């Protein structure tokens, strides 16, 4: 199968058609027509085999996840996803693999009504690079830089599940049979908080998506906003599956330092606290207050008033 056939079979004329796409796959460039009064939000994420995903990841999950992680960046800015390009590097043409990859990719693309408008296909070690474009009304995008002393800190969803899912897949942890699928799916199929991000636009002072782990990602907000933070580890949202399989210390360690949750962390002034409840109910996502922004530049973790130090995550080999 030649490159153009591969594109034709698995990527062209698939998924969402959008009226703002003037010219899609097939020419030297795609042409899109952004709406008036909107800024274009652009982000790129690359997933490399054995660095960002295990070689045996199901192709469907990889297709889904490659786009989900990019959508998560748009969510963190409060942008509405619109178009994306796909740079695909593969060691060989494996048609069942491509069919399944394309299915996973377009499943999430259709859900968010976004269009694949171009890309590049090359031979080499397996990697997937997606550039996503979204739109946001000028001047309203959420950034990492707006958190103010006194703002409350919130996160969506539950934290740590994806990192535990990865450790199950690696054979580094075992969990109860009834929790295994949930945890692995949290790793393979993260839910980008796209609607929540848009709902937060006029309410939150800053936002970031949690890709590397809470403790590492919140520092980007603190640095950009020139503030410090206090987090109460008792408020960190943990799933029933995480709690059922780990000690409290281990569960908090996964939640604070585990990556790839793709939940949102955001800050809200006291004056907007009530409005957040109403706004996020419509986005259908759970969220919880975990701490407060303070003066300075430090991140402090507290547990019943005492300083808290997360344990380093241990691996169980068997």
Of the pair 72, 131, the CB lying nearest ligand ADP is at 131
Residue 72 Cβ vs ligand ADP, minimum distance, rounded to whole Å: 21
In the list ligand ADP, Mg ion, none, the entry touching 121 (Cβ below 5 to 8 angstroms by class) is ligand ADP
The yes or no reply on residue 3 touching Mg ion (CB under 5 A) is no
Of the pair 76, 88, the CB lying nearest Mg ion is at 88
| Residues in contact with ligand ADP by the rule CB under 6 A | 7, 11, 25-28, 86, 88, 116, 118-121
Q: Please give the residue whose beta carbon sits closest to Mg ion in the complex.
A: 120
Residue 3 Cβ vs ligand ADP, minimum distance, rounded to whole Å: 6
How far, in Å, CA of 84 to CA of 164, rounded? 30
Residue 10 Cβ vs ligand ADP, minimum distance, rounded to whole Å: 8
Q: What SS3 state is found at 109?
A: helix
Of the pair 26, 58, the CB lying nearest ligand ADP is at 26
Residue 12: other Cβ atoms inside 10 A: 14
Half-sphere exposure of 266 (CA within 13 A, CB side): 32
Of the pair 128, 210, the CB lying nearest ligand ADP is at 128
Residue 112 Cβ vs ligand ADP, minimum distance, rounded to whole Å: 17
How far, in Å, CA of 87 to CA of 91, rounded? 14
Residue 116 Cβ vs ligand ADP, minimum distance, rounded to whole Å: 6
DSSP for 217-286 reads HHHHHHHHHT-EEEEEGGGS---HHHHHHS-HHHHHHHHHH------EEEEE-GGGHHHHHHHHHHHT--
Of the pair 25, 264, the CB lying nearest ligand ADP is at 25
Report CA dihedral (201, 203, 205, 208) to the nearest 10 degrees: -50
Best CA proximity match to 67, nearest among 91, 95, 45, 49:
45
Judged by CB under 5 A, the number of residues near Mg ion is 1
Asked whether the beta carbons of 136 and 80 are under 8 A apart, the reply is yes
Query: Using CB under 5 A as the criterion, what x/- string covers residues 94-123 for binding Mg ion?
Result: --------------------------x---
Residue 104 Cβ vs Mg ion, minimum distance, rounded to whole Å: 23
- Contact residues for Mg ion (CB under 5 A)? 120
């Amino acid at each position: 199968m030649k490159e153009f056939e591969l594109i034709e079979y698995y990527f062209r004329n698939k998924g969402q058609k959008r009226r703002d796409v003037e010219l899609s796959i097939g020419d030297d460039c795609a042409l899109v027509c952004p709406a008036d009064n909107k800024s274009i939000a652009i982000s790129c994420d690359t997933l490399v085999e054995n660095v960002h995903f295990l070689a045996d990841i199901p192709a469907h999950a990889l297709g889904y996840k490659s786009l989900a992680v990019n959508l998560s960046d748009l969510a963190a800015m409060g942008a509405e996803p619109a178009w994306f390009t796909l740079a695909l590097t593969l060691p060989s043409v494996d048609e069942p693999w491509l069919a399944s990859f394309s299915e996973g990719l377009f499943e999430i693309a259709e859900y968010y009504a976004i269009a694949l408008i171009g890309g590049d296909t090359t031979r080499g070690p397996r990697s997937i690079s997606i550039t996503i474009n979204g739109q946001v009304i000028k001047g309203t995008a959420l950034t990492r830089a707006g958190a103010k002393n006194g703002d409350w800190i919130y996160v969506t969803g539950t934290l740590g599940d994806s990192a535990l899912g990865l450790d199950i897949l690696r054979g580094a942890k075992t969990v109860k049979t009834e929790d295994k699928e949930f945890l692995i799916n949290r790793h393979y199929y993260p839910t980008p908080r796209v609607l929540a991000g848009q709902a937060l636009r006029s309410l939150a002072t800053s936002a970031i998506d949690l890709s590397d782990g809470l403790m590492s990602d919140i520092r980007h907000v603190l640095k950009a906003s020139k503030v410090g933070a206090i987090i109460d580890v008792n408020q960190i949202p943990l799933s029933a599956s995480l709690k059922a399989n780990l000690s409290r210390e281990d569960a908090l360690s996964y939640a604070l330092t585990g990556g790839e949750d793709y939940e949102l962390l955001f800050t809200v002034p006291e004056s907007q606290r009530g409005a957040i409840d109403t706004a996020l109910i419509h986005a259908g996502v759970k969220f919880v207050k975990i701490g407060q922004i303070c003066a300075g530049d430090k991140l402090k973790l507290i547990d019943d008033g005492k300083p808290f130090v997360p344990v380093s995550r241990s691996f169980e080999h068997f």
